[in-house]
Structure 1
């Protein structure tokens, strides 16, 4: 959670500029966005149709790219004083190093709202801008079930094709009508979640302000007028020709940012929390399974686990993943989302409602604390960690230790754990699919044990995983590895 300050709400908020943001800016479409070179969907952009893929040459390789790469870095929030004037909202500083071409997304706030808990009516939207915006269900998404037991939280969620961030606070009051507690959330909607972190500090202070001085919305009104987006028209797409850039360091633009305010970074926490189970989640993510993560409140850190799961499936080989289901982050969900989930074939989400565990038709993988389980018999073998899995996790741990040592001893700040984590799994994925494509283009199309070892897979322990992978991605090869368990 963000450390709260005692300063006034308006003065206490600032947008946190990226440490590697360029001076140049370009108009960005809110639709059809994906990370450059990545075929893993659900990485921060809306899934609306209309995005035209392009290619970009990098280091003599050609990568497919969606029109809008969103590059980012950094995990620690700057504690700098910002100007209180409203005209300074949205100001950002550019990097002093022009070596790496980068892009900055424009502010696109679709709605601002305040949700309150009423002892008679339950959760309700107390105020919003614009007044005609469809916020059905937001009152439950922005105030997680069970939040009455905690003092504060932040929640990422999905509303249709848009993303939201809300900050919740619970303040004791001497009021019989409110039953001794006043609970509210202040949130925003945007076409993308990659910039929502910028406003977390502001939303935290605004929800505190709403608790202490209910009914005063002038600061929220000014914020919305400054940040409101121009909504797309017609079929929901924006007709614009996006430029193609040649990147000097493509690894800096392979993934979007979901800023975390914990100084250790969300990837580091993700690795420490799941340990070797990360490899199991990696396989299910690559197979585009429906993954549901349960945790009691607070739900903010669990939303980061959703993001980390999505990052496991990135692939930068052209053509891979085009025909497979989109791996969509839903972030926090509740019983109001059941109808929407019934039609989803691939997603990652988190919930605080234990009742979801009983609704097995809505998910393939259920994660409770560090316990990863499935009710599908054919997926049971994927829950067992094999020798190749342990080897992958050992290599990841070793690379992390080398990075941490270089940062501590040499003061090397060029890399981050986020970069290392995402690129590690992207390289694993690329190695697998590159080998499968080579075998599928050969004459006999025979996949041997040597091929599996070259892909970093266990010839026996990963047999089921590989067979499912071939089926999901429609790759035509012949798996001839003998199974010692069969006669």
Structure 2
């Protein structure tokens, strides 16, 4: 499927910071400014590898990050780099379909450099990535219908369904276990098109996946005109921004004015001190592998401003007791998949997990049915 409009490589330079040092685009005037920050968010140097989802000017994207050993001056023994792609705009882009290829391309890139004992990639080293882009470059504006929305039955059971663990929607059962009853709090904010920010520590793949899964909660109610689409000015689903950094503050303000709502994740702790930029904050750093502690939810509340003082403060949000009955039903459904334990990370993101069972597809359908009951309340 040809759906790519750009491929790029971002790396950390000891004197220039994050830079894009190689790229190929579908058109010469395609803007890649600031993608280097999304592809290399703060703190990623602490992990060996990761997957980062992001967006740029309405284009969804994803990159594979690697920390590789280097003897290059100024790099302190490691080279930090990400190979990423941007997809053409469509009703429902699927950046996760390129994750496996990006991982392979990163391995090929640095294996060749190690074998030739070179410090900087040559044009030959970039050739496999260039060939991948050319074979997946967008050929038609409508993507031949590949980016259309035809309902969950088509997405999960259609001819082109994605049964691998790369599809974020299929991680829903794990998300439910992590959030517990607070899942319903998140659902209400997404259906209300609120601005939702997820704070995490590296690795960030689970938080990025959570962004997409949370948007899927209400996708059908927000975009499907043939069903009970909620009335409103927006005919598109809530905007999934993916990974954001402090360089995106102006962008957040612009997105907030659209009324479409957005969900994003970040590793920048400074956002915790700027609650005016979002409505709901989910702090994943408070979650532990046992059920004793879960992610903490905070609501951004306006306060009477003082001279140069804050205009908003964070207030802890707890699930409503009226949601307990519905959650108990969902929890009963989750017990059907008792083989997967609660974890602060998505266990299905670990190497070795490849397929999603029909049972998990059934759990997703059960979740959708339960949400329909919530809408009727």
Give the alignment's TM-score, normalised by structure 1. Answer: 0.57
User: Equivalent residue of 2:185, what SS?
Assistant: helix
Contact 1:268 1:417 in 2 (8 A): yes
Contact 1:341 1:362 (C-alpha < 8 Å) held by counterparts: yes
In 1: Cα distance, 2:168 partner to 2:56 partner: 29
Following TM superposition, by how much is the alpha carbon of 1:259 offset from its aligned partner in structure 2, in angstroms?
A: 5.5
Summarize deviations over 1:184-214 as a string: whole Å, max 9, x none.
1111111357532232222112223333422
| Equivalent in the alignment of 1:395 | 329
Preserved contact between residue 168 and residue 213 of structure 2 (Cα < 8 Å):
no
- 1:342 corresponds, among 238, 246, 253, to 253
Please list every run of 5 or more consecutive structure 1 residues that lacks an aligned counterpart in the other structure: 1-105, 406-412, 436-454, 456-487
Please give the secondary structure, in 2, of the residue aligned with 1:297. coil
- Secondary structure of the structure 1 residue equivalent to 2:210: helix
CA distance in 2, matches of 1:211, 1:205: 10
| Aligned CA distance change for structure 1 residues 353 and 404 (closer, same or farther; 3 Å) | same
Q: CA deviation at 1:145?
A: 1.4
Q: Deviations over 1:393-423 (max 9, x none)?
A: 1111212223568xxxxxxx873435523x3
Q: Structure 2 vs 1, CA of residues 387 and 243 (structure 1 numbering), >3 Å: closer, same or farther?
A: closer
Tell me, in whole angstroms, the C-alpha distance in 1 between the residues paired with 2:107 and 2:101.
10
Q: Return structure 1 stretches of 4+ with deviation > 4 angstroms.
A: 237-240, 242-253, 256-259, 261-265, 377-382
The RMSD of aligned alpha carbons is 3.7
Counterpart CA distance in 1 for 2:210 and 2:82 is 22
CA distance in 2, matches of 1:243, 1:304: 21
Tell me what 2:198 maps to: 293
The equivalences for 1:322-337 within 5 A come to: 322-325=231-234, 326-337=237-248
Question: What residue in structure 2 maps to residue 367 of structure 1?
Answer: 282
Match of 1:113 in 2: 8
Pair member with larger Rg: 1
Matches of 1:328 and 1:258, distance apart in 2: 24
Instruction: Give deviations 1:428-481, integer Å, cap 9, x for gaps.
Output: 443455x5xxxxxxxxxxxxxxxxxxx2xxxxxxxxxxxxxxxxxxxxxxxxxx
Higher strand share: 2
Question: Structure 1 329/246 Cα, relative in aligned 2: closer, same or farther at 3 Å?
Answer: closer
Please show how residues 433-472 of structure 1 align to structure 2 within 5 Å. Answer: 433=375, 435=376, 455=377
SS of the counterpart of 1:165?
Answer: strand
Q: What are the within-5 Å matches in structure 2 for residues 10-89 of structure 1?
A: none
Q: Are 1:203 and 2:102 an aligned pair?
A: yes
1:426 aligns with 2:368: yes
Residue 110 of structure 1, CA deviation: 1.0
The 8 Å contact of residues 116 and 125 in structure 1, kept in 2 or not, is answered as yes
User: Cα deviations across residues 54-102 of structure 1 (Å, max 9, x unaligned)?
Assistant: xxxxxxxxxxxxxxxxxxxxxxxxxxxxxxxxxxxxxxxxxxxxxxxxx
Q: Which runs of 5+ in 2 are unaligned?
A: 114-120, 285-294, 304-312, 340-355
Q: Corresponding residue for 1:218?
A: 127
Which one of 143, 153, 156 corresponds to residue 50 of structure 2? Answer: 153
Q: Structure 1's 175 and 278: CA in aligned 2 closer, same or farther, altered over 3 A?
A: same
Q: Is the 8 A contact 1:400 1:417 kept in 2?
A: no
**1:284–1:246 CA distance, 2 compared to 1 (3 A):** closer
Q: Give the structure 1 partner of residue 70 of structure 2.
A: 173
Q: Distance in 1 between the 2:80 and 2:36 partners?
A: 12
- Work out whether residues 290 and 363 of structure 1, in 8 Å CA contact, stay in contact via their aligned partners in 2: yes
Q: Which of 163, 167, 182 matches 2:79?
A: 182
> Matches of 1:327 and 1:179 in 2, distance apart?
41
Which structure shows the higher helix fraction? 2
Q: Label 1:339 to 1:420 Cα distance change in 2 as closer, same or farther (>3 A).
A: same
